[in-house]
Amino acid sequence: GFFRRTVRQKLTYKPCANGDKKGCLIMRISRNRCQYCRMKKCLDTGMSHEAVRLGRCPKKDKPSRFNLFKISSNENHDRIDIDKQIKTEELILKIHDSFMAANKEFHALTCRYQQSKVLEVKCENDTKILCSRYLPAIVHFTTIFARDLTPFKKIDVHSQRNLVKQSLLEIAVIHSLYWNDETTFGKILDRFGYIVDILNCEQYGIFGQFLLDMFYSVQKLKKLELTDVELSVMAAMVLFSPDRPGLDIYKNTFLLEQMEDILCLALKSQFAQNHDNCEQLFTKIVEVLINLRTISGVYLEIILNSQIDIVDVS
């Protein structure tokens, strides 16, 4: 109906403030937020100006009474499915909103470094300085993102801190894709006053090796061409992982496992809407998450012992 009205009345809409590349999340419950992106979504899903011109389908193409009867007999089941879909959409929308709000906080923290000249990383000490700037910012981002999610607030404070700490480096990789352009990894790092030649990172000690492994992980994720919404849901999956060490298993296991299942379904629903190879893509995502967990296991303790303050999530 929205598409038909737009075409017939030749309506135009003010371009989205987020730009064409980012756009807005258009779902059943958020479709009225931005008419420009809503129209773009109509076109992306295959709606046709020609179909509007030709009008409704002839009577012979309409469903028969028998088919209508069959539909009504499944009405209760359909109602349950619709309610479930709406709840999933509400969760996805909230996660995406929280992700974007945390990004604004992250951007604010980087502004102080953008006043000075951008330097090239040339030694191990430079990588330490870069990480001392970057890691507190990503801790802050993860904390803001987490504490804005209602299920996270239901977890005890000790376990909240553990979830943030244990997911920190994995979320850093996922988050960095939001700031990267199509060719370079350095865009997020030059926001902190340094540019990095990835080929030389291996020479710069453990922090240089961390940046190198982070770069390779970002490249793997980039090839999957995930949307911002999918990245935000993926970050939530990492945050709510139920098998993190140091959690109170009696208090939190059921909630975390429930969230893991819900978020997996939410991510699959987004893949089904945005990609042709939904099942294959989800398999690749699982492989990436396993790889991120491995990288986190190698570097996390070193990072946490480098006197980088963890923001209190309580």
Question: Is it the case that residue 122 has pLDDT exceeding 60?
Answer: yes
In one-letter notation, the amino acid at residue 267 is L
Average pLDDT in the 72-83 region? 57
Question: Is it the case that residue 125 has pLDDT exceeding 60?
Answer: yes
Q: What average pLDDT is seen over the chain?
A: 81
Please indicate whether residue 250 or residue 148 has the higher confidence score (pLDDT).
148
Average pLDDT in the 70-75 region? 48
Average pLDDT in the 38-60 region? 72
Residue-wise DSSP of 8-47: HTT---PPPTTHHHH-----TTTTTS-HHHHHHHHHHTT-
Instruction: State the pLDDT at residue 256.
Output: 92
Instruction: State the pLDDT at residue 236.
Output: 97
Q: Which of 68-72, 75-79, 83-87, 91-95 has the lowest mean pLDDT?
A: 68-72
What confidence tier does 16 reach under pLDDT thresholds 50, 70, 90?
confident
Q: Which of 73-87, 100-114, 116-130, 193-207 has the lowest mean pLDDT?
A: 73-87
- Best-predicted range by mean pLDDT among 59-73, 76-90, 106-120? 106-120
Q: What is the pTM of this model?
A: 0.74
Ordered structural domains, the chain, with CATH? 2-71 (3.30.50.10), 95-304 (1.10.565.10)
Nearest to 84 by CA among 219, 268, 265: 265
In percent, the amount of the chain with pLDDT more than 90 equals 31
Average pLDDT in the 76-83 region? 60
Question: Is it the case that residue 67 has pLDDT exceeding 50?
Answer: no
Which residues lie below 8 Å from residue 252, measured CB to CB, with a gap of 6+? 155, 156, 159, 242
Question: Is it the case that residue 8 has pLDDT exceeding 70?
Answer: yes
Contact criterion met (CB below 8 Å) for 290 and 158: no
Average pLDDT in the 244-252 region? 80
Ranges assigned E (strand) in the chain: 119-120, 194-195
Q: What share of the chain is helix, strand, coil (3-state, %, to 5)?
A: 70, 0, 30
Instruction: State the pLDDT at residue 72.
Output: 46
In one-letter notation, the amino acid at residue 247 is L
Instruction: State the pLDDT at residue 251.
Output: 80
- Best-predicted range by mean pLDDT among 156-165, 249-258, 275-284? 156-165
Contact criterion met (CB below 8 Å) for 162 and 244: yes
Average pLDDT in the 90-118 region? 86
Question: Is it the case that residue 211 has pLDDT exceeding 60?
Answer: yes
